[in-house]
Amino acid sequence: MEKNIKKFFNETAKENNLNLNNKLSWGFYFSHKQSDNLQEAKNLLDPNRYSSSEIIFENKTYYLCVEEISVHNVDSLYNRCKEFQTLAEKLHINSFDGFDVEEIAVS
């Protein structure tokens, strides 16, 4: 996983005109066949740390989408992904699917 995150940082810096040194909107995703496990994960998340979290149903699968407004580097993003992977395993969630990032939407 750490190797993929390093590659992501290198490619994003070169290709996407995204300054990874700024606060950005990081999305983290879990998937499961039922919503109960995802709801339990959502309930365990600190609302002061994450700006939003929602469960959606699509293509016969439930997804928990968690948003964090933050600055990450390779190490902090790796640690966050490890935390979420551990949470998924603990709660028997089928998958922690990874992350994406985008600029913070201005309203």
Using a cut of 0.95, tell me whether the model's pTM lies above it: no
**What is the model's pLDDT at position 107?**
62
Contact present, 24 and 69 (Cβ < 8 Å): yes
**What is the model's pLDDT at position 20?**
87
Compute the distance between CA of residue 86 and CA of residue 30 in angstroms, rounded to an integer. Answer: 12
Mean per-residue pLDDT pooled into runs of 10, the chain (107 residues): 85 79 94 96 89 93 96 95 96 96 80
**What is the model's pLDDT at position 39?**
96
